[in-house]
Amino acid sequence: MLRAPLKDRADGQGQLDLPGDSLGEVLRELERRYPRLEGWVLDEHGTIRRHVNVFVDGERGREDTALSADTRVHVLPSISGGSRS
């Protein structure tokens, strides 16, 4: 599940079905399908950005979090991320 501005960069798709056995694999597949998202959720080294929260079935996920076929993943901005601006 994606919200703006990520949704906009995924051609308006707010809900996507993506393959992958881990959260890192799914997020890399997201970038592969929508290159305009490259660098937005994962940094250049494939690490989830500090001020982006990725929830896996309601729990905070990491790159190595295992996923199953019916797992729901939400990508949300952290409430702390706007502090710099």
Partner 1 sequence: MTELLVGSKKGLFVLRGEPGAPFDVATRAFPGDVVEFGTRDARTGRYFASVTSGFYGPRLMYTDDPTGEWEQAKGPTFPEDIPDKSIDRIWIVQPGEADGVLYAGVAPAALFISTDSGETWELNRALWNVPTRPEWNPGAGGLALHSICPWPGDPQRLAVGISAAGVWLTEDGGETWRTGYPGLVPQYVPEEDREKTHALCVHNMHRAPQRPERLFLQFHGSVYRSDDTGETWNDIAEGLPSGFGFPMVVDPSDPDSAYVIPLTADLDRVTPDGKVRVCETRDAGATWTAHGDGLPSNDAYLTILRQAFGHDGGSPLGLYFGATSGEVFGSADAGASWYSVHGNLAPVTSVRVSG
Closer to partner 1 by CB, 14 or 39: give it. 39
Q: Please give the Cα distance from 33 to 56 (Å, whole number).
A: 20
Q: Please give the Cα distance from 85 to 83 (Å, whole number).
A: 5
Query: Binding to partner 1 by residue 5, rule CB under 8 A?
Result: yes
End-to-end CA distance of the chain: 26
Q: Which stretch binds partner 1 (CB under 8 A): 18-26, 45-53, 54-62, 63-71?
A: 45-53
Among 18, 22, 52, 63, binds partner 1 (CB under 8 A): 52
Q: Please give the Cα distance from 76 to 82 (Å, whole number).
A: 13
Q: Using CB under 8 A as the criterion, which residues of the chain lie in contact with partner 1 when the complex forms?
A: 5-6, 36, 38-41, 43-45, 47, 49, 51-52, 77-78, 81-85
